[in-house]
Structure 1
């Protein structure tokens, strides 16, 4: 009989938590569980999903212990995996991350540009705190960290917790690969072997082969040049809101810049920031859409499950984005040598790129962690964009460690999304005002 594992979900009050639990419960044959714990420092928010999650667990397998707690010792004692998706400041701070830049005609987005920088300055302490709890109470635990902004968080972990059992990962490429599989006619993204390089939310696919070794990247690029990432007869109902369909269409413009590889859709914010601002409502941003849509929908359904005492006929669904978590945990637990995209220290994998940069590349995962695959040299255009963005991320962590106003001003000024040092300073001063209590004091 396989060993059964204990998991803690840090950021238990997230609206994604029920989807993650459903994914875990759907994969008990791959990753048997003895305990699922929710941990959050906001008890009221966590309680909005906790009882429904407990019902989901008990109806699937009553032998699995379920705990929801705000106590770090209870949460982290006797756990094998921590799934970390914390959001310091929650959605009200995300709303400010998005709206303050838009005041100055600059992209307002949660992980890209000024919004990502502000969020990163809040996230670092929260992630480090959870690593310390893990190391204190379960030193052999692996943390699978997908807290945003993943690139800044990963750089902070590299510097401050270099020996921690933390693997930084993001679900965005998984979502895009599902889309790619659909476009190319594969039943699953797992029928594809991909080559990819870049940074988090900032990368390119260079090869998509089937299991017989046949290359399909040119077929995908041909499609994208006509339709972007939309299917030929795209069904709008598959998108949770219109902005995702617009993002899929925008890939058509992104791929034209270099039609030898296929880009992450997040590059729209860096390469077409004027278009992004023109299509943004400075009074109603993505955070508002999430609060009025996803958050309301999930909390309402969780309340219904709690009141009924059963999850029968629930509208909650397994999150596709959550499948990489099960794959990664399974690879670590059973030494499967699964090939996965991770955010890791470069160390020569990209030959003509700094060794200490945190890059997103394919890795082979086993019980001792990961081994990065060699990428070789990358082209000048992509290399130049990445070097600029890595410098931004490093300056943010410098600013956090040193409490340096100037380093954060430099980070904002260097961001490809921000037009000048003048605008960067205005955004920074506004951010400092609203982030009191979240950021270190800057001098």
Structure 2
């Protein structure tokens, strides 16, 4: 029996994560073939990562056939799972997403605000084409999407592509669960958090340890200033008043929306001192790929943890393992609402605990949105729909609406100026416009 995984964006520095995840789970998730796929611009990185992945598999003595190619359609033949980790335009495009908004006095970030909007504009059409190929060539395959903005991309594919076997994943719920375990001095597997909201705007409403409610204790610890942010987000801490008033666990991305002035000040200072986060990551990636070239390196290097998406393999690989084995365990994924949050439409994509079966995720009902954040979540979901519409239509007014309705922009004149500047900066990757 064969079990084939195709990694789209195989030349990414993250790829050793997913290779490690497959190796560690090979007894229960016996992948027989992995194909790494990239585009011409990523050919050199693909070769370097492919050689490292090959050494990792050989060291682990796992019977996995590994190859890498620029021919996506050929790679997709007989695939069972297709994971996506692409960055259209590379880190150079991310740098523009971060730098240009800051020049206009707004937060520049790769998945939030104006930068996040344009990452979606560049990404959604590319992944729509991938979904068409998957539906034609390997219609039974599951697309596991890690490409940001993960929730928006997943909703676009589920609503507008012919392929419906699509699940979005993110490492933020993973980070929150593991950091909460550290806070409570217990093992992550003992922790269950009830998540409510959407990708990068999800809250933790309840925390249980082995079935016992520890929400009050965790909120109290957060008031003391404990940090569960990933490497790419500097934690500013939360006021006792905010935590007490909302009675929710914010995720690290909430600081962009509830501590906007502080974040903007910090980002402007960081830009002056070190450049954009993308430029910092470019230097980090240079170091990583130098490490990857070492013929004696046969494992994922510790330095990879400095990347913001570190450890996502535990999320993506656990999900594939559970689908393959029909485990019916609970994982946090981006999937169709289907009544889990009655305040939102059935076809909205939310980030929610779900029972993972061979037929995909079955979201667990969490009930109505908390009054403290209901208005914000309504606005964010409406904004996401505008982004998806603009990404597909390429209509200028649709794109403008997405900008002006984003809570990190809002100002109508600046929305137009930012839109025009970013359309010009990214024109090579925005054929729909």
- The answer, yes or no, to whether TM exceeds 0.5 is yes
Deviation of the 1:314 alpha carbon: 5.6
Q: Distance in 1 between matches of 2:265 and 2:312?
A: 29
Structure 2 residue aligned with 1:299 = 289
Q: Distance in 2 between matches of 1:75 and 1:383?
A: 43
Q: Distance in 2 between matches of 1:204 and 1:152?
A: 17
Deviation of the 1:341 alpha carbon: 1.2
Structure 1 residue aligned with 2:409 = 418
Q: Give the SS at the match of 1:36.
A: strand
Deviation of the 1:356 alpha carbon: 3.1
Q: Distance in 2 between matches of 1:316 and 1:28?
A: 24
Q: Give the SS at the match of 2:140.
A: coil
Q: Give the SS at the match of 1:33.
A: coil
Q: Does residue 434 of structure 1 match 2:425?
A: yes
Deviation of the 1:96 alpha carbon: 0.3
Q: Distance in 2 between matches of 1:313 and 1:87?
A: 21
Structure 1 residue aligned with 2:57 = 57
After superposition, what is the alpha-carbon deviation per residue over 1:152-207, rounded to whole angstroms, capped at 9, x for unaligned? 212211221265211112121111211111111112x2211221111100011111
Q: Distance in 2 between matches of 1:313 and 1:428?
A: 39
Structure 2 residue aligned with 1:223 = 221
Deviation of the 1:352 alpha carbon: 2.0
After superposition, what is the alpha-carbon deviation per residue over 1:121-140, rounded to whole angstroms, capped at 9, x for unaligned? 00101212222222222221
2:376 is aligned, of 385, 410, 422, to: 385
Deviation of the 1:392 alpha carbon: 1.3
How many residue pairs get aligned? The number is: 423
TM-score (norm 2): 0.92
Structure 1 residue aligned with 2:34 = 36
Q: Distance in 1 between matches of 2:300 and 2:109?
A: 35
Deviation of the 1:255 alpha carbon: 4.4
Structure 1 residue aligned with 2:126 = 126
Q: Give the SS at the match of 2:416.
A: helix
Taking the TM superposition and a 5 Å limit, the aligned residue runs for 1:76-115 are: 76-115=76-115
Q: Give the SS at the match of 1:263.
A: coil
Structure 2 residue aligned with 1:136 = 136
Taking the TM superposition and a 5 Å limit, the aligned residue runs for 1:144-223 are: 144-161=144-161, 163-187=163-187, 189-211=188-210, 213-223=211-221
Deviation of the 1:402 alpha carbon: 2.1
Q: Given the superposition, is the C-alpha separation of residues 268 and 85 from structure 1 closer, same or farther in structure 2, using an over 3 Å criterion?
A: same
Q: Distance in 1 between matches of 2:405 and 2:324?
A: 41
Q: Distance in 1 between matches of 2:241 and 2:28?
A: 38
Structure 1 alignment gaps of length 5 or more? 231-238
Deviation of the 1:228 alpha carbon: 3.3
Structure 2 residue aligned with 1:323 = 314
TM-score (norm 1): 0.90
CA contact (8 A) 2:20 2:300 kept: no
Deviation of the 1:104 alpha carbon: 1.1
Q: Give the SS at the match of 2:206.
A: strand
Q: Distance in 2 between matches of 1:254 and 1:353?
A: 28
